[in-house]
Structure 1
């Protein structure tokens, strides 16, 4: 039932957005098509980023200690991830003192 309500609310929001844009639009200003296209681009970019992060985590989980992953995205940004052994913490003596 929650999905149906979200669908109805989403459709209603798009309708209200389209109505508002029509009422406020003038020649040469942004139309509903451009707004919806930009929303779609944003959602696609967010989905792509989630997929990239999930893939990176999966790869890092499979690498042995000392392994390394270098990423370069379409904008030329470079990321480097290294798998290092977890540091061992000194054991504390059981008891209330130091």
Structure 2
């Protein structure tokens, strides 16, 4: 059991390791958010742990959405506030329910 826990690090420990090895200061919150976004975070209670093997995934660059698409490509709309993604999801659910009722 301790072998498993030895390979898990907190975002703070990862930030300290990156700073010590590369001299780059990376915010703990940034690591926390990216780990959650890409699905490598493991939560125990309120604590987040990340496996050592997943650290390279955290350091990979992410592709950014195309905000100015060419004709024929779908546009990407970024949320304008903290609740906008929730509001868009609810709107889509309501729209789909209306379409199912009409079908």
Bigger relative contact order (CA 8 A; separation at least 6): 2
Structure of larger gyration radius:
1
Does the TM-score normalized on the shorter chain lie above 0.5?
no
Which TM-score tier does this pair reach, normalised by the shorter chain? under 0.3
- TM-score between the two structures when normalised by the length of structure 1: 0.27
- TM-score between the two structures when normalised by the length of structure 2: 0.26
